[in-house]
Amino acid sequence: MFALVDCNNFYASCERAFNPNLQGKPVAILSNNDGCVISRSDEAKAIGLPMGAPIFKWEAFCKTNNIHVLSSNYPLYGDMSSRVMSILSQFTPDVELYSIDESFIEFKNFKTDFNYNDYGFQIRTRVLKWTGIPTSVGIAPTKALSKVANKIARKFPNETKGVYVIDSEEKRIKALKWIKIEDVWGIGRRLAERLKMKGCKTAFDFTALPDAWVKQNFSVIEARLKRDLEGIPTLQLDEHKDRKMIATTRSFEYTYSDIDNIKERISTFASSCAEKLRKQNSSCYVIIVTLRSDRHKKGAEQHRVSTSVNLTYPTNSSLIISNYAISAVMSIFKEGIKYKRAGVIVTGLVPTDNYQLNMFHEENPKHKPLMASIDSLNTKYGSNKIKLGSQDLQRTWKMRQERLSPRYTTNINDIIVVK
């Protein structure tokens, strides 16, 4: 059996866990630079605040309806996510972190008459008690069906109390007839449209299609999904794999038309990518730099461009990646353009301790111990204590976060004081 544990309105729930005054009130969380709504409490949804709403257009609406609008507090959300996942691992060692707010878990070698419903309530109760985060738990014989079960638990909280188990053929068929084809996990918008043309309106209609027709008209992924929905375990838990590409892209706090500010941002983004490379013991052969103007500026000249640099040897040195990234952005920068967003992407990744050597070019051997020392000091004394000379020593992302809550669990100065 599999379970999908999903944290309800995760970002809003994290804020409520440390600020009980927000309980029962509409809450909205904004994206980077306080741009648009990326998370809403059920109360905010009921009022009519849409997902993705640009806050500058909906500011008056939020004030009129007393919606509490907060900036994204990613350090807090990431730490709370780790705490939730740590609790889940107490119930079974087989846990797949699917996203920041949901995980698949597998119950291997459990007895056939095991009471999964009670176990689901134990999971939900412990997570809520230890973190203050409410969850929905869906349990079923396959991953795809556990997704369906979770949607039922979330949709009908009064009837299910947040836990629903698909443990019979009757429940499976009833659940598949209830869920719309466009709401099925793994069915995108275009695929849903194609299936609707075939007469598939629900997940049950999809499972009724002939296997041969599905294999002929779709990929092996859809064929596996169909079997999973039929109750035949086909999709397994994904093992942790190192990423094949690492990116750091951000919008600027303000638009920049001077190369110096953009070079500083690119250097910071490149250093972040290099640090992520070292964490997974990888090095890169290719660096991609992107630059984009503010598309919301009506009448302003637009410029969206990217360029790539192929290295003669793989590296994860912040010095080398930053230097190449700065040179790349200087080659695509255009005078007179107001730029709003930039990014650095490293790809062509190989293991740092296992790659093809180059007879004529190699990295300065001093870089490896230097990077190890920088990482060690930043880990000990706090992120970004040691920076490159090309970075601004007084800022990191420099995002607009005018409504930011305290970082209750990740900053010693923001820890709650009990009087």
Instruction: Write the DSSP assignment of 207-254 as a string of letters.
Output: HTS-HHHHHHHS-HHHHHHHHHHTT---PPPPPP---S-EEEEEEEEE
pLDDT at position 395: 59
pTM of the model: 0.71
Query: Cα(116)–Cα(122) distance, rounded to whole angstroms?
Result: 10
Evaluate whether 35 touches 251 at the Cβ level (below 8 Å).
yes
Q: Which sign, positive or negative, has the C-alpha torsion 90, 92, 93, 98?
A: negative
Question: Where are any strands of DSSP class E within 257-389?
Answer: 282-293, 304-315, 339-351
Tell the residue number behind the tokens 């007084």, with chain if given. 394
Outline where 65-110 has alpha helix (H). Answer: 74-88
What dihedral angle (degrees, nearest 10) is formed by the CA atoms of 204, 209, 211, 213?
-150
pLDDT at position 113: 83
Q: Token pair of 88, please?
A: 């889940």
Query: Cα(181)–Cα(197) distance, rounded to whole angstroms?
Result: 12
| Low-confidence spans in the chain with pLDDT less than 50 | none
- Taken as a whole, the chain contains a residue count of 419
Give ∠ CA 115-116-120 in degrees, rounded to 5. 130
Q: Token pair of 106, please?
A: 């597998």
Query: Cα(293)–Cα(303) distance, rounded to whole angstroms?
Result: 5
* Strand bridging mode 163-165 / 246-256: unpaired
Query: Cα(229)–Cα(212) distance, rounded to whole angstroms?
Result: 16
Coil, strand, or helix at residue 41? coil
pLDDT at position 382: 66
Name 271's Cβ contacts closer than 8 Å, sequence gap at least 6.
318, 321, 322, 387, 388, 391
